[in-house]
A and B are shown apart, each in its own frame.
Chain A
Amino acid sequence: MFAASAFAQPPVVAPAQEARYHALIVQLRCVICQNRSIADSDAPLAADMRHMVAEQIKAGRSDDQIKDYLVDRYGSFVLYNPRFDAATWMLWLGPPVLLLVGLGIVILLLRRGSRRAEPPAPNAEDVARLLDEDT
Chain B
Amino acid sequence: MSHLRFIVPTLVIIALIGVMGYGLTRDPTVMPSALLGRDAPAFAVSRLQQPDQLFTQKMLQGQVSVVNVWASWCVSCRAEHPFMEELAGRTNAKVYGLNYKDERAAALDWLARYGNPFAAIAYDHSGEVGFNWGVAAVPETFILDRHGVVRYKQIGPVDQVTLEKTLLPLLKELESEPS
Q: Which A residues have a C-beta under 8 Å from some C-beta of B?
A: 1-7, 31-32, 34, 44-45, 48-49, 52, 71-77, 98, 101-102, 105, 109, 112
Contact = CB atoms under 8 A, between A and B. Distances in A.
Given A34-B28, A77-B31, A2 B133 contact: no
Interface of B: 5, 8-9, 12, 16, 28-29, 31-35, 41, 101, 125-128, 131-134, 136-137
B125 A71 contact: no
Contact of A34 (B5, B29, B34, B126): B29
A80 to B, nearest CB: 14
A32 B32 contact: no
Contacts of A74: 31, 34, 134, 136
Contact of B136 (A32, A76, A109): A32
B23 to A, nearest CB: 11
B128 A2 contact: yes
Given A34-B28, A101-B12, A105-B9, A75 B126 contact: no
Residue from A3, A6, A48, A73 with most neighbouring chain B CB atoms (10 Å): A73
Given A34-B28, A101-B12, A73 B132 contact: yes
B21 to A, nearest CB: 16
Given A32-B136, A34-B28, A45-B136, A71 B34 contact: yes
Given A105-B8, A109-B5, A75 B33 contact: yes
A111 to B, nearest CB: 12
B12 to A, nearest CB: 7
Given A7-B128, A73-B41, 7 more contacts: A6-B126, A31-B31, A34-B28, A34-B29, A74-B31, A75-B31, A76-B34
A10 B131 CA distance: 17
Contacts of B133: 73
A4 B134 contact: no
Contacts of A44: 101
A4 B8 contact: no
B127 A48 contact: yes
Nearest to B16: A98
Contacts of B16: 98
A14 to B, nearest CB: 22
A74 B132 CA distance: 9
Contact of A73 (B5, B8, B126, B131): B131
A48 B131 contact: yes
